[in-house]
Amino acid sequence: MTTPAMAGFQHRTVLLDEAVDALDLTGPRADGIYIDGTFGRGGHSRLILSKLGAKARLYAFDKDPQAIATAQQIADTRFEIVHDSFATMREALGERGVHAGQVDGILLDLGISSPQVDDAERGFSFRQDGPLDMRMDTTRGISAAEWLATASEQQLEKVIRDYGEERFAFQIAKAIVAGRAVEPIRGTRQLAGIVAGAVKTREKGKDPATRTFQAIRIFINRELEDLEAGLDAAYAMLAPGARLAIISFHSLEDRMVKQFLAAKAKAPQPDRRLPIKAADLPQPEMKLISKMKPSDEEVEANPRARSAVMRVAQRLSAASGALQ
């Protein structure tokens, strides 16, 4: 059942067909075990289920209670939703009898969903006035307003600079501290106004508050920490030949994904002074499959897809170092 908070907010799944196709749900793998690490509103999960066999299992993860409510509407015995970050997949699936090296494909669609952005009550966007919450999981942790009330000027500057890649981080942090001394910063438009007053120039067509809101959201939800832990967990869970598809939406995420996959796809270099046979040389752990961006048609239909980048890699056999 759709709750009032969920009603009226539509979500278009980015790279829907391309991401599911990248998992290669064919042949015997159609009855395998799969993970949708970011359920959102279920676009990828529903399409994956439509392609899986009767014996398959799909485990989805999400921190958002509204996403969990949506997932619970899926009446499919092959499907289970876990109310937690995908960073916990190894422990969560271990409790369900699924262990390292047993998963046939993992999809991570990073970032936030349109319903989260469009719902003013969530506080993710400055385009509508609402409470400064910004938590993906509204049942845990502190809100953005609570953090802004107590963070030091140095902490504010570091978060805004590092997570927002904002060159005016010092000026914004100073303005926030000055602003909260007058009155508590509790609303999205209130914060956006403070930022706008501190940012003197900005790229054409981009709101001055964009980078600051991104930075605070990433920090509050520990998004980069979750991604780092999630990448390690995903690699551990994948079976030989299984694929990992990751869709990112900003440069910090994509850089982490790119570097992680590149490191796994590069064979360790042995000491050249050691007498090692060619057959015994270390082999790469993963193979890079593809990099893809949304088509012009998809971006036109869904402008929020513009910044998306999907990277796909395949876990290689520990024995042979490669799969054909």
Backbone angles phi, psi at 264, to 5 degrees: -70, -25
The answer to whether 84 is annotated as binding is no
The answer to whether 193 is annotated as binding is no
Edge-to-edge strands, sheet with 238-248: 79-83, 57-62, 33-36, 103-109, 238-248, 309-315, 286-292
The answer to whether 170 is annotated as binding is no
Concatenate the DSSP letters of all residues of 223-250 into one string: HHHHHHHHHHHHHHHEEEEEEEEEEE-S
The answer to whether 86 is annotated as binding is yes
DSSP symbol at 321? S
First to last CA, the chain: 45
Helix, strand, coil: what percent of the chain each, to 5? 45, 15, 40
Backbone angles phi, psi at 153, to 5 degrees: -60, -35
Work out whether strand 57-62 and strand 79-83 pair parallel, antiparallel, or are unpaired.
parallel
Pure H helices in 52-136: 65-71, 89-94, 114-118
Look at the block and give the residue holding tokens 């007058």: 182
The answer to whether 97 is annotated as binding is no
The answer to whether 162 is annotated as binding is no
The answer to whether 116 is annotated as binding is yes
| Residues annotated in a binding site | 42-44, 62, 86, 109, 116
| Residues annotated in a binding site for S-adenosyl-L-methionine | 42-44, 62, 86, 109, 116
